Amino acid sequence: YALQGSRWRVKKLTYKISKYPRGLEKGAVDKEVAKAFSVWSIYTDLTFTSKKSGQVHIEIRFERGEHGDGDPFDGPGGTLAHAYFPVYGGDAHFDDSEHWTINSFRGTNLFQVAAHEFGHSLGLSHSDIKSALMAPFYRGYDPDFMLDNDDIQGIQALYGSKIENKDRTNIYQRTTNIPLLGEEDSQLCLDSKIDTIFNSAEGHTYVFKDEYYWKLSSDGVESGYPKLITSSWKGLQGNIDAAFTYKNGKTYFFKGSKYWRYINKNVDGDYPKDISEGFTGIPDNIDAAVVWTGNGKIYFYKGTKFWRFDPSQRPPVKSSYPKLISNWEGVPDNIDASLEYHGYTYFFKDKAYYRFNDKTFSVDVANPAFPRATGYWWFGC
């Protein structure tokens, strides 16, 4: 399957048939369109509600030739229909020159084509799997139509599965008053203050907040998140203070007076251990930690101070530490998280972040200026 790159941030979607086909009875079209939407709602928490008037998410029209969107239909055969991805509005247009039919081997099956188009309306691109509904070619009426596994994986990559979402609902209802994810904007967009952010040995960037984690993409958050931290890093806890991956490829997590060590997502021995045991000279309850690849040393931050830790030295923290964070121009005290990313060191505090320039030892002067909104620039909100 292929994802276009956009999706709806709400799960309760509405639609309206603004213009019906000439050759079919309206009630029958309503039924087929509802059935086509249900193809996608069976496997997700998405719901589709028909409206007769007013604003809707997905508008459906049967049109001939040029119909106002600059992409004219071409008469019988050729292009049957087209639809717009969520970022472009999600509307679906069907060529009314086609001979649309219902439950018939003659003509073009409305239900199958509509189900395909609604896949685009939800964010799926064309699949190169021949048996997939999202393959671009019409393959004739199939009385035993079933969604292909490729389509199911695609839609669930965008909106999650019914079971996953049910689990998540229960967790939220049990432990917090946080609004349900997917109902409105992601939790990261509602409150972009984070606990920690780090790069894994495989090169992925993860964000931790409360009990959950997200994997970042190049321009936001990957679909299918958040996930429970404990579902991936067995034995770890939520509300992590800091994390980093050292040059040995091992990832360290810090919380209170304890730390954990993992190789990828597998715990690397008997953890948690005391910070005082494994990181002599570093205080408990740190704010953030980061490895600066410029010198390979680990920097720990707490309140107004930072410590430089060099595992190869005895003692690993020199007596000249801690030093004041204010020595680094523009970096605030009491940071939440720190990360090295694409050659820069980033500091996160509340809902904003700062890009630190290692060459000038100051926060970068840029347009737009730092601090910038973490939600917009990091999470694609």
Q: What residues line the site for another protein (CB under 8 A)? A: 4-5, 71, 73, 77-83, 87, 98, 108, 113, 116-117, 120, 125-126, 128, 130, 136-138, 218-220, 341-342, 346, 355, 376-378, 380
Q: Single out the residue of 162, 215, 165 nearest to residue 188, CA to CA.
A: 215
Q: Single out the residue of 257, 183, 265, 243 nearest to residue 9, CA to CA.
A: 183
Q: Which is nearer to another protein, 124 or 236 (CB)?
A: 124
CA–CA dist 160, 135 (Å, integer): 21
Q: Which is nearer to another protein, 56 or 133 (CB)?
A: 133
Tokens of 330: 């523009």
DSSP characters for 248-278? TSEEEEEETTEEEEEETTEE-SS--EEHHHH
Q: Which is nearer to another protein, 53 or 218 (CB)?
A: 218
Instruction: Reply yes or no on whether 211 is catalytic.
Output: no
Q: Which is nearer to another protein, 27 or 368 (CB)?
A: 368
Specify the residue for token string 């940071």: 335
Instruction: Identify the active-site residue in 59, 117, 211, 340.
Output: 117
Q: Single out the residue of 198, 302, 300 nearest to residue 243, CA to CA.
A: 198
Tokens of 145: 């139509």
Give, to the nearest 10 degrees, the angle between helix 110-121 and helix 149-159. Answer: 30
Greatest distance between any 2 Cα atoms in the chain? 85
Q: Single out the residue of 303, 337, 333, 377 nearest to residue 209, CA to CA.
A: 337
Specify the residue for token string 């034995």: 235
CA–CA dist 60, 30 (Å, integer): 11
Q: Which is nearer to another protein, 165 or 196 (CB)?
A: 196
Strands 196-199 and 108-109: unpaired
Q: Running DSSP on this structure, what letter comes out for residue 95?
A: E
- Report the nearest approach of another protein to the CB of residue 141 (Å): 12
Q: Which is nearer to another protein, 5 or 238 (CB)?
A: 5
- List the catalytic residues: 117
